[in-house]
Amino acid sequence: MSIQDCNIIDLPRITDPRGNLTFVEANRHIPYDIRRVYYLYDVPGGAERGGHAHKALHQLIIAMSGSFDIHLDDGCAKKTIHLNRSYNGLYVCPMIWREIDNFSSGAVCMVLASDYYDESDYYRNYSTFIIDVKKTVK
Ligand code: TYD
């Protein structure tokens, strides 16, 4: 898998003068079951989150409110995506180094994850991540 597999998913939108509604269904709008939801909020100006990769975890990242930038790196290529719509989700496949920054005031970053929290699924060190990426490419 590479950053070419990491794309914006345009989620369904039920627009209504009373307020809009968006929903996400596991294995329909995203290619996995959802086992965990977490969110980042009260992020101070200038803060950076992420700075890691996952071995097996799939994620959908949604800007529920406000905006932020997500920098993706699969060890070969990089791309940056600005998320600012609550009906868009960025699908991030396993083995992608990600950093999130440029949070707007009041931004809320929600993540729909394919598995429970497991520290052993993380690469916290970029060099170790790159060594393992090169092994799988060979
Ligand atoms: P981390 O994944 O490094 O946060 P981010 O990618 O947003 O910068 O997690 C920060 C801390 O929170 C770390 O100590 C692990 C803990 N944590 C949990 O206990 N459960 C979770 O579901 C997540 C995502 C993190």
Has residue 74 got a pLDDT over 70? yes
Overall average pLDDT of the 102-124 stretch: 98
Task: Determine the atom of ligand 1 nearest the C-alpha atom of 98.
Answer: 6
Has residue 8 got a pLDDT over 80? yes
Catalytic site residues? 52
Overall average pLDDT of the 6-32 stretch: 98
Has residue 114 got a pLDDT over 80? yes
Ligand 1 close to Cβ of residue 38 (< 6 A) = yes
| pTM for this predicted structure | 0.97
Ligand 1 close to Cβ of residue 49 (< 6 A) = yes
Residue among 35, 108, 117 whose CB has most ligand 1 atoms within 8 A, to mutate:
117
If one counts the domains in the chain, the total is 1
Rounded distance between C-alpha atoms, residue 92 and residue 69, angstroms: 14
User: How many C-beta atoms surround the C-beta of residue 30 within 10 A?
Assistant: 19
Question: Does the CA dihedral 69-70-76-77 come out positive or negative?
Answer: negative
**Residue 80 structural domain:** 3-137
pLDDT of residue 136: 82
Residue among 35, 38, 59, 129 whose CB has most ligand 1 atoms within 8 A, to mutate:
38
64: nearest Cα among 87, 48, 44: 87
SS3 127: helix
CATH number of the domain enclosing 124: 2.60.120.10
pLDDT of residue 138: 62
Model confidence pLDDT, tens digit, residues 46-66 = 999 999 999 999 999 999 999
